[in-house]
Amino acid sequence: MERLGKVEKKIYSLREDHPLVIPQIDPDKLPVEVISKIFQAISDLGIQHIALGGSIITPQKLQIVQDMAVKDYNFSTVTYPTNSAVCFLNGHEGKTAIYWMSVLNSENPFFLRDVLVMNSVAVTPNTLEPIPTAYVFDDRGSMRTANWLARAVPIPREKPEISLSVALAAQYLGMRIYIMAGGSGSELGPPATHVELLARKTNLFIIPTSGILTPEDADLMFKHKADAIHVGKLIEEPKGIETLKKMVSLANKYPGKIF
């Protein structure tokens, strides 16, 4: 049986207390000095685990920000194989991971399969821990950079049964995390009916992302049994940390779950 890495174990351990709010920082969107201040604010909220990355990323900047997150703030981090160079990051044992993900509704073979095959030998599991992940786009009313790059066929909002079919396929392939994506800046949030169905009918760790901009948006996800949410673009706004604080307080009121 496959042994889970330390970062993945930490994610599940944190989930035993309550759903997670996982801030996502795009290193290319902000100066390092600003990111450092955001990290301090996030740390002050008691958050221990963050995501790093974006649709178009500079690996050198990502390396700097990842190192700062781990060494200066003791975060565990997870990133994405958005390009091959990311897979060559210098990781930190027990602290850094990568969503080893297939975009299951992508028509671009690079994101469906090729980036994984091309770079599997480059990843060093004890320093950049691969976490088997399904990354699936659903309809959010707009085309964002990530959707465009992936050439994804989005799952219709009125068809939660399609989400369930895709999620079960991912589960049977051995994937453990399921990310519901819309692309940064999505006009609509994740469809709650899909979240609830996947939480009820699969054994996957469900992470809705994109378009979660208010405490009410976050609360809706938690009510429908999301295991975690990613919050990205919001953090770049002037009052983003205050909104994040409210999301964390809401998450802490919901029950834990054992994986």
Distance, in Å, from the CA atom of 28 to the CA atom of 40, rounded to the nearest integer, reads 19
Q: What is residue 143's predicted lDDT score, i.e. its pLDDT? A: 86
Q: What is residue 141's predicted lDDT score, i.e. its pLDDT? A: 86
Q: What is residue 238's predicted lDDT score, i.e. its pLDDT? A: 84
Per-residue pLDDT of the chain (259 residues; tens, 9 = 90+): 568 999 999 999 999 999 999 999 999 999 999 999 999 999 999 999 999 998 888 999 999 999 999 999 999 999 999 989 999 999 999 999 999 999 999 999 999 999 999 999 988 888 899 999 999 999 998 888 999 999 999 999 999 999 999 999 999 999 999 999 998 888 899 999 999 999 999 999 999 999 999 999 999 999 999 999 999 988 988 899 999 999 999 999 999 999 9
Distance, in Å, from the CA atom of 47 to the CA atom of 39, rounded to the nearest integer, reads 10
Query: What is 6-247's CATH number?
Result: 3.20.20.390
Q: What is residue 242's predicted lDDT score, i.e. its pLDDT? A: 97
The domain segmentation of the chain, as residue ranges, is 6-247
Distance, in Å, from the CA atom of 47 to the CA atom of 76, rounded to the nearest integer, reads 10
136 touches 166 (CB < 8 A): yes
Exposure string of 218-236, with b = 16+ CB inside 10 Å and e = fewer, is bbbbbebbbbbbbbbbbbe
Number of H helices, E strands in the chain: 10, 8
Q: What is residue 2's predicted lDDT score, i.e. its pLDDT? A: 66
